[in-house]
């Protein structure tokens, strides 16, 4: 490959990455976080970010609104509602509560995992104990490959 061809490919990739929706989203969120009270006018944001298609800004805001990070304050304005913007005591308290809930859920998960191991071991012990073979019913006649089952009679 010649040098000019490689340079053209590289510059095309660079230009494309600069226009990517992911990068535009990062710039938009940064703009939101730097805005007074986290409120941004969408037309001004499109101009500031030099977006040729305003539809891309609306795509970003629809996703961010869908996951609860922003909310519309008027027809052309949105406000950041996610954690970390204001750094207020309320946000810090909420973060602490969520971390505490996460720790509690992780402990509950560990208990359930241990109980699952115990149940599986009990099942294995029960099915492998020769004293329990008398409780097994033979497989149904005519059904090949079926394992005996525990009779509850």
Query: Which pLDDT tens digit goes with each residue over 84-136?
Result: 545 555 667 788 888 889 999 999 999 999 999 999 999 898 888 888 777 77
Q: What percent of the chain has pLDDT over 90?
A: 31
- The mean pLDDT of 9-19, rounded to a whole number, is 52
pTM: 0.45
Q: CB-based contacts of 40: which residues, under 8 Å, 6+ apart?
A: 28, 31, 32, 77, 78, 79
pLDDT for 51 equals 87
- The SS3 of residue 124 is helix
Instruction: Quick: pLDDT tens for 130-153.
Output: 887 777 766 555 555 556 565 655
């Amino acid at each position: 490959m010649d040098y000019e061809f490689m340079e053209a490919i590289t510059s095309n990739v660079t230009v494309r990455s600069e226009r990517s929706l992911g990068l535009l989203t990062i710039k938009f969120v940064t703009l939101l976080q730097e805005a007074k009270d986290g409120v941004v006018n969408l037309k001004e944001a499109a101009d500031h970010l030099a977006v040729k298609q305003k539809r891309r800004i609306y795509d970003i805001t629809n996703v961010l609104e869908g996951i609860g990070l922003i909310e519309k304050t008027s027809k052309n304005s949105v406000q950041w509602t996610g954690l970390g913007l204001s750094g207020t005591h309320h946000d810090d308290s909420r973060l602490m509560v969520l971390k505490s809930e996460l720790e509690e859920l992780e402990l509950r998960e560990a208990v359930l995992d241990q109980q699952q191991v115990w149940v599986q071991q009990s099942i294995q012990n029960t099915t492998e104990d020769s004293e329990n073979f008398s409780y097994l019913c033979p497989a149904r006649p005519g059904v090949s490959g079926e394992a005996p089952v525990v009779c509850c009679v």
